[in-house]
Structure 1
C-alpha cells in the first residue's frame, strides 16, 4: 500500500526526542505566524523563493511538504519558526523537531535540483521585537539522503503494522455479530437507523427510552459500518463519567464477542485525574515521568497498541511500566486507537484535540454523542467567557511595574464600558473596540513577561491572562448567536462583570458536525427534535427517529398534582401539600423514593417540614458541592432492603445517569417543571431565541425544563420487570402543551 505523509507529520512521529516540556512558552497566533513568515520573506532578495512545494519517495512512502524558503544564491533552505520571548526557552524537543523538518526539506531540494550539498537553516523570528536568529548547518546530499531514508524506514515500519491492524480489524468487523443472543425491544430499530445514517453520511437524532441498551445499540452498528464506509476512527463522546463507563463496558462486550478481536479502545481522562504527580510541573526538571518522555515513548506506544482495552487503569499500568506520563501517553494513542471514548470537549470545544487530529490527518470519523440533551448547555459553556473586574484588580495589584501601565489602560477602558450604564444589568449591542485592543495588548505583554521571567507573574495575573485571551478570541466571532452583557457589582467601588454568553452554539458546532462522516446524537429526551437541530447546527437532512418504549403503561403510574402550584410565588404555600402527598404515597407502598426540587433552598424547606411532620420516615439529602464520596454514599442508601426518601435537586447529579433498578427505586416526586429561573439574563436569552427561531419561551424555558423532568422520571423504570410511580407536582403538568412533551407511553391520570 502506498502511503502519503506530510513532512511535519513524519518528523513528529520519528524525530521527537528528550523531555516532555510544557512550561509556558507563549505562541504567536496563526495570523501573527503568517505575518512573521511574510516579514522574513520580504527581507530576502528578489531571487528568494517562498513556500517551495516539494515531494520525494522512499519505499512505499511518499513525503510531501512546502519549505518556507530557499535562497539559491546561498544554496540555503530555511525553516522559519515564529516565537515570543526568550529563544532559550524553546524546549529541546521542539528544536529537535525543527531541525528534522529542515533537514528533510534539505534533502528534497537536493534531489529535485540536483544539488550535491546545501545549507540548512532554522530562522527563529521573534514576533515581539521582529528580530531573526539564524542557525545554519552545512550538509552534503548523501548525509541528508541517509537521514531522510532513516526517518522513512521508521515511519514505514509502523505504517505497515497499522495497515495490518486495520485490515484485520475491518475483516473482523465485517463478520461481527450482535454481542447478545437477541436484540431487546427497540434496539434493532435504533441500530438500523445508526447504520443507515453512516451508509448515507447523514446525522441522526435518536430518541430512545432509558433502559433499552442504547450504548451497545449505537456502538455495534457504527462498528459494522466502519469497513464499508472506510472510517478511520469512532469517537464516543459523553457528558459524564458514568457515560464513559457504559461505553467502555459495551466496547469490552463487543471485543469479547469474537476471539482475539483486533479492536483498540482508548479512554481519555481529564489531566487532573490522570496526573501521577500533581505537585510537580510538566517538564523534565520537575517530573520524572516527563524526563526523557519522547525517548521512552516508542516502547510505551508499542506496548499500548498491543493491548485491546486502554481504559484509565490499564493505560496507567503501561505508562508507569515505561516511566512515561499516562495523560500524555493517552494523547499520543488517540492517533492509533479505533474507538476513542471521552468527554464532549475533546471534539467540540475551541481547542479540541480530536477535532484538530481529524482535520490534520483527514480522518473519516463517526461520532456517537451520548445523552445528547446535554449538548446545548455544554456547547454554550464552551463558547462563553467572563471577566470579573474585582479579580482583575487583585491581579493588577501584584503586577510588575512594566505591566501595570497596560493594565491601567485596561482599567480605564473597562470603566468606560459601564460608565453610561444606569441599570445594574444591561445587554450591549457591541463590545468596545478600545477595550478589546487594550485587553489583547495586556494579554500579549503578560505572555511575553511569562516567557522572559516566569517567576514575575503571579497566579492571579496568569489566570487573568488566560481569561483575557479566551474573551478576546470569542469576541472576534461575536454575533447574533452570542450576547454581551455587563453586570454592575454592588460595593464601595464601581466594578462590573463582563460576560460574552453564547446563546446558540450552532455556528461553532456546525463545522465539527460537517467534518464528521456521520454522527448520531442519542438520548431519552430529545423532543422536540427541531430544538436540538436548530441550536446545535445540524444540517437540514438530519434524520430523526423516536424509538418506541419497551415498557408498558401498567409498569408506571403517573399522577399529576393538579391542586398544587410550585411557581416561585407559591412555593412556601406548597410545602405542606407536598409533604402530605409524599407521606401518603410512602405509607401506601413503603420503599425507596427520590424527591426532586427546583433549588437547594426549596429542597431545604421541604425536607425540614417533612421531617417535622413525618419523623418516622427515613430521609437523606443532596447537598451543595457534594464530593464524589458523598454522592456514592447517597446512592448506596438505595439498596434492595432499604426504605426512605432521598431529596435531590432536579438537573443535578441524581437527576440522570444513575441506575437503580428493581426495588432500589420504586418512585419519584418531581415538585417542579424544571424551568430555568426567570431573571434578566434568561429573559434576554428568550428575546434572542424569539428573534432567531420565533419560539423564545419554549426554546429558553419549557423544552430544557421538561427534559430534566423526563430524565428524572426515567430513573424509576429501568427494566421490563420494574414497577413504580411518579408524581408530577404542579398544576401546569396538566396543560396540553406540557403533556405533549411527556413520553407517549406514560398513562397519566
Structure 2
C-alpha cells in the first residue's frame, strides 16, 4: 500500500459482511437515546471489573483498523457486542446478524492481539428495550481463528483501502498546486478566499458577509480545497438551502476540475438528493420483494460502488446512470458513496438535522470535515424547523378508528389527555369560556394559545403510545399501516424533543374545530442544538450577502466564541444603485388602505421616469392584491404580472421568463417568497425594485413570546424577533437588482421607518440613500 489507510471496525464490517436485499420495511427500532440507555443498563448489570467502551486497534499491511468494543469482562474472559432491539429477535435479518458477528470477531482479534490472549468468549448481547431482557449468543474462539477472520476481512477490504489511500495521496498532491480557475479574481473575491483559507487553516468558524455577484461559491470552495491537504481534511461538505444552490456549487467544482487540465480529476464529487426525488419506483415498497432495485442490492453494491468512484463526478444524473447500470437504488447508492467521496453537495440538513447523515458519518469515522454553508442567513429559520415537532389530534382520531384492538388502551388514554388539556386551557381563560368559544376564535379563526408549561400527562401518554405501537409492530409487522406509522413517528419525534424541552423552545396549542387541534413544540433558539454540530467540524464557513449584524447569528446559531466575522467590501459603486426612501408612507397594518394610493403613484412615477422591468414586494398576498388592482385601474398601459399563493414550479418559471432583456413591466411579489432571493436577473432584465414593507414578522402571541425569550437570553428581544429578520428579507430582495459590476438600477423603499437610524444601520454600507416625500 503506497500510503497508510485507517478504517473503523464498523465501516470495515459494513464493507465486507453485508449481502442480500436492501430492506427498509418498517421495523421498530430503539431511538439513539434508548440505545445509549440500553448499553448503560447492560454495563450496570456487569461486575466491577467490567470495561465498557474499550478502545482497540490493529494493523494489516498498512491498513489500520480502530474502534471501541462495547464491553469486556476480564474475569470471564468474555468480549461483548451489545445491540438493542424491539420485538422478536427472530425477525432480525440474517445479514444483520452476520454483520454483528463480524464486528465482535474483529474486536476479538484486536483484543487477543493486544493482550496476548490465546482464546476468548465472544458474546452478542441482544437487549429487548421494552422488557430489559437480555439474550446472549456465545461463541468460543481461539486467537488463531480470530486472527484468520480478521485477516480475511482485511484482505477483502485491502484492495479498496489501497485504492483509497492512493486516491487520497493523488488528491492531496493535486490540491497542493490547485490554481484559481479564472484569469483574475473579481473585486472582493481574493479577500473572501483569503479569509476562508485562514479560517480553515486555524480550525475556526467564519461568518462572512459578501455581496452578490462576486462569485462567492468558487471563492469559498477554492481556498478550502487548497487547505485540504495541509489540514488533512477528509471531507468537505458544501451545504445549501435550495436546489439552485447545489447547481451553483457543482458548476464551480466543475470549473475548478477543468482548471487541472487533462489529467485525471483529483476530486470525487457527490450530489445528495432527497429520497422522494431519487426514487425510481415511488409506488413500490423499499424491500427486495417489492422493488427490483432493492433485491440483491448488497450483492451488486461492490461493482456499483467501484464504478461510481471510478467515474468520480456524481451529480444526480451521473449517479442515477451508474445505479441503474448496476440495477441498484440510486438513493441508497448515494448514501453509501457519502463515505467515499471528497466533496459532498447537499442540503443543510445533512449536517445540522438531528439525524444528519454527514454528521453521523463524521462522528463514526472520526473525520476532519470542512463545512461550507451557502445562503447562511436562512439557517436560523431552517434550524428552528429541524428542532420543532407537532402532535396532530386529527391523525390520532383517524388511527383510533382503525387501530388493532391491542392498541385501544394507550390510544384512548392519549385521547383523554387531549380532552383534559382542552378543559384545563379553557378553564384558565375566563373570557373565552364565558364567550362560549370553545373551539375557534372570532370569525372562525383558529384558537391559538401559548402554554406556560409542558403538558406532562399528555406527553407521558404520547410516550406510551410510541412504546405500545412500537412493541405491537415488533410482534405484528402486518399491522404497520401508513397512518399508524405516521402517528408513531410523530409521537416519537415529539417526545424526543420534549425530553430536551427548555428555554430554547415553547409549547403551543392551536384548535381548528372539534377534534382538530395541534400541539406544537417550537424551537426558538437553535443554538442549544447546533453548537455541538459546529464543534464537530474542523472548520465551518457560513456565507451570504446578508449576515448583518454578526452577533445575531453568533447568538442564535450557537457559534463558537472564536468565530470570526468578516464583511467583504462591495465591488459595487454607490452610483450603480439609486436607493430612495419614501418617508411619508406608512405600511403598518392600520395604515394599509391609506398607503395604496401613494405606493401606486410612486411606482408609476419611477416607471415613467425609467421604463423597464421592476419587482414590487409586499408583506402579504392581500396587500399585494389591493395594490395590484389599484395599479391596473390607474395605469392600464403598464404591463403587470403577479405571484400567486402556492404557485406551481412551472408558473414560477413563467413568471421569471417575463423578465426578458430590454423588456418592460412590473412583477408583483411577496417579500420573503420565491422571488425575493435566490433568483438571478442580470443586466436590464431587472432594473429596479419597490419594497413596500419592512418585512417584520406579524405581531402575535407567538412572536411576543419569542421576543420575551430572546430578550431574557440575549437582551435583544425586539431586534432579534422583528427588526433584524425583517431587514434581512428587505436587503435580500433589493439584492436582486445589482448582480454584476456592470449592472445599474434603483431600489425604492416605501415606509417612514426606513428613515430611522436603527433601521438604516441594517442597510448595506455601500448604499447611498436619499429620502423624499410628496
C-alpha change, 1:21 and 1:584, in structure 2 (3 Å) is same
1:153 to 151, 155, 160: 155
1:139-190: CA deviations, max 9, x gaps?
6665543332111112232222212111111111111111110011111111
Deviation at 1:50, TM superposition (A): 6.9
Structure 1 stretches of 5 or more lacking a match? none
* Mean Cα deviation higher: 612-621 or 227-236: 612-621
Q: How does 1:478-557 map to 2 (within 5 A)?
A: 478-487=501-510, 489-492=511-514, 496-557=517-578
* Structure 2: distance between partners of 1:234 and 1:451: 39
Match of 2:639 in 1: 618
**Equivalent residue runs for 1:541-690 within 5 Å:** 541-690=562-711
For residues 204-233 of structure 1, the C-alpha deviation after alignment (integer angstroms, 9 at most, x for no partner) is: 111111111111111111111111211111
Distance change (3 Å), C-alpha of 1:692 and 1:88: same
Per-residue CA distance 1:57-115 (angstroms, 9 max, x = gap): 43223434455567899987554422112323323331221122233345446656777
Bigger CA drift: 443-452 or 188-197? 443-452
Give runs of aligned pairs for residues 39-58 of structure 1, distance below 5 A: 55-58=57-60
Q: Distance in 1 between matches of 2:716 and 2:121?
A: 66
Cα distance in 1 between the residues matched to 2:240 and 2:414: 39
- Shift, 1:492, TM fit: 4.1
Deviations 1:549-604 (A, max 9, x none): 11111111112122221111111222222222222222332221111111111112
Match of 2:417 in 1: 413
Among 74, 77, 83, which residue is 1:81 paired with? 83
Cα distance in 2 between the residues matched to 1:625 and 1:7: 48
1:66-105 equivalences in 2 (<5 Å): 67-68=69-70, 78-105=80-107
Structure 2 residue corresponding to 1:207, chosen from 203, 206, 209: 209
* TM-aligned CA distance change 1:639 to 1:120, over 3 Å: same
Secondary structure of 2:311's partner? coil
My pick for the range that moved more, 522-531 or 461-470, is: 461-470
1:274 aligns with 2:278: yes
Give the equivalent residue in structure 2 for 1:431. 454
From 17, 30, 36, the equivalent of 1:28 is: 30
CA-to-aligned-CA distance 1:640-663 (integer Å, 9 cap, x gap): 143211111111111011100011
What is the TM-score normalised by the length of structure 1?
0.94
C-alpha distance in 1, partners of 2:602/2:46?
A: 84
- Which residue number corresponds to residue 178 of structure 1? 180
3-state SS of 1:403 partner: helix
SS in 1 for 2:736: coil
Q: Distance in 2 between matches of 1:551 and 1:72?
A: 70
Q: How has the CA–CA distance of structure 1 residues 100 and 463 changed in structure 2, closer, same or farther, with 3 Å as cutoff? A: same
Which residue among 313, 320, 343 is the counterpart of 2:317? 313
CA distance in structure 1 between the partners assigned to 2:557 and 2:142 by the alignment: 55
TM-fit CA distance, 1:305: 1.3
After superposition, the C-alpha distances for 1:265-289 in whole angstroms (9 at most, x for unaligned) are 1111111111111111111111111
- Counterpart in the other structure of 2:353: 349
Farther-moved stretch of structure 1 (364-373 vs 22-31): 22-31
2:306 maps to 302
Residue 755 of structure 2 corresponds to residue 734 of structure 1: yes
**Partner SS state of residue 228, structure 2:** helix
Matched, 1:471 2:494: yes
How far off is 1:325 after superposition?
1.0
Distance 2:529 2:366 in 1: 20
Please identify, of 146-155 and 273-282, the stretch whose mean Cα deviation from structure 2 is larger.
Answer: 146-155
- Residue pair 1:7, 1:64 contacting (<8 A) in 2 also: yes
The 8 Å contact of residues 267 and 341 in structure 1, kept in 2 or not, is answered as yes
Partner of 1:728: helix, strand, or coil?
strand
Q: Distance in 1 between matches of 2:448 and 2:680?
A: 42
CA distances 1:614-655 after superposition (whole Å, capped 9, x unpaired): 222222211112222221111111111432111111111110
CA distance in 2, matches of 1:53, 1:212: 48
Is the Cα–Cα contact under 8 Å of residues 17 and 96 in structure 1 kept in the other structure?
no
In the alignment, what sits opposite 1:360? Answer: 364
Contact 1:21 1:91 in 2 (8 A): no
Give SS of 1:229's match.
coil
- The residue aligned with 2:289 is 285
Q: What whole-Å deviation, never above 9, does each CA across 1:690-745 have from its counterpart, x for those lacking one?
A: 11111211110110101111111110111111121111111211111111111122
1:48 & 1:683 partners in 2: Cα distance? 53
Distance 1:416 1:643, change over 3 A: same
CA separation of 1:286 and 1:577: change in aligned 2, threshold 3 A = same
For 2:116 and 2:583, the matched residues in 1 are separated by 88
Deviation at 1:478, TM superposition (A): 1.2
Would the alpha carbon gap of residues 173 and 116 (structure 1) be closer, same or farther in structure 2, given more than 3 Å must change?
A: closer
1:676 and 1:50 map into 2 onto residues whose CA distance is 51
Q: In 2 relative to 1, CA 49–593 (structure 1 residues): closer, same or farther, beyond 3 Å?
A: closer
1:40 and 1:531 mapped to 2: Cα distance?
44
Contact 1:120/1:136 (CA < 8 Å) preserved in 2? Answer: yes
1:458 partnered with 2:462: no
Q: Secondary structure at the match of 2:308?
A: helix
Partner Cα separation in structure 1 for residue 73 and residue 232 of structure 2: 43
1:246 to 245, 248, 271: 248
2:76 and 2:231 mapped to 1: Cα distance?
A: 50
Residue aligning to 2:432 = none
CA distance in 1, matches of 2:571, 2:45: 72
In structure 1, distance between residues paired with 2:758 and 2:724:
11
Q: Tell me which moved more, 428-437 or 402-411.
A: 428-437
Q: 1:115 to 1:439 in 2, by over 3 A?
A: same
Deviation, structure 1 residue 29: 3.2
SS at match of 2:506: strand
* SS class of match (2:631): helix
User: Secondary structure, in 3 states, of the residue corresponding to 2:229?
Assistant: helix
Paired positions, count: 747
Shift of 1:362: 1.2
- Contact 1:123 / 1:134 at 8 angstroms: preserved in 2? yes
Conserved in 1, the CA contact under 8 Å of 2:389 and 2:493? yes
**Range with bigger deviation, 66-75 or 686-695:** 66-75
Given the alignment, which residue of 17, 20, 25 partners 1:18? Answer: 20
Unpaired runs of 5+ in structure 2? Answer: 430-446
Q: How far is the alpha carbon of 1:528 from its aligned partner?
A: 0.9
Alignment partner, residue 725 of structure 2: 704
SS of aligned partner of 2:520:
strand
Shift of 1:503: 0.8
Report the Cα distance in structure 2 between the residues aligned to 1:709 and 1:449, rounded to whole angstroms: 52
C-alpha deviation, 1:608, in angstroms = 1.9
